[in-house]
Amino acid sequence: MTVSERDRPTRRTPHLPGDADMWVMILGDLFFFGCYFVTYMVFRARSPERFSAAQQHLHIGIGVTNTVVLLTSSMFVALAVIAVRESEIRRARRLILAGAACGVLFTALKAYEWHREISAGFTVSDEFFGFYYVLTGVHLAHVLLGLLILGIALRDLRDTRRQRIGLMEQAASFWHMVDLLWVVIFAIVYLMR
């Protein structure tokens, strides 16, 4: 092989990242959340004034911060996939840790926000807040599961005999789904008036 052949970028065969099992899980979650989003919209359409009045008590700054934090975490995870593909395993590990740290920060901000709302008397007895806690709670459970999956991918990268790109792609796919769901939740729960 000549130097020029070696320096040419290799073409990867296009493929769906991860494996079929992860995509079945992701599509199932998207379907579940989609049904819940539609249900929320139906109830909101039946009581727009009540939902808008309750929505005013959410702290938009926390929602924006959480959105930026999750988008940043997705960037770190996407860069980790690229690093693994380029065999830069140490860099990939650091990027996964940065993405996971953002996930932990998101969790802490969500716990603070819930504490703030509950302390002010906004509980599931209010229809809007019932939806708010269930939507954000189920999403938070997905964040925690995503952190576990990122941890498994990180462990895989620490073992030089393993380092499977497929596992990193699966972890990233799930994490990006979590991010996508938050963007929709943020839009319909915090922003939509």
Per-residue pLDDT of the chain (193 residues; tens, 9 = 90+): 444 444 444 456 666 676 788 889 999 999 999 999 999 999 999 999 999 999 999 999 999 999 999 999 999 999 999 999 898 999 999 999 999 999 999 999 999 999 999 999 999 999 999 999 999 999 999 999 999 999 999 998 887 676 578 889 999 999 999 999 999 999 999 999 8
pLDDT at residue 9 in the model: 44
pLDDT at residue 23 in the model: 87
pLDDT at residue 20 in the model: 80
pLDDT at residue 22 in the model: 86
Neighbours of 3 (CB within 10 A): 7
**What whole-number distance in Å separates Cα of residue 174 and Cα of residue 54?**
32
pLDDT at residue 175 in the model: 96
**What whole-number distance in Å separates Cα of residue 163 and Cα of residue 169?**
11
pLDDT at residue 154 in the model: 92
Q: Which of 182, 69, 154 is nearest to 191 (CA)?
A: 182
Query: Two tokens at 108?
Result: 């802490």
Answer yes or no: pTM beyond 0.75.
yes
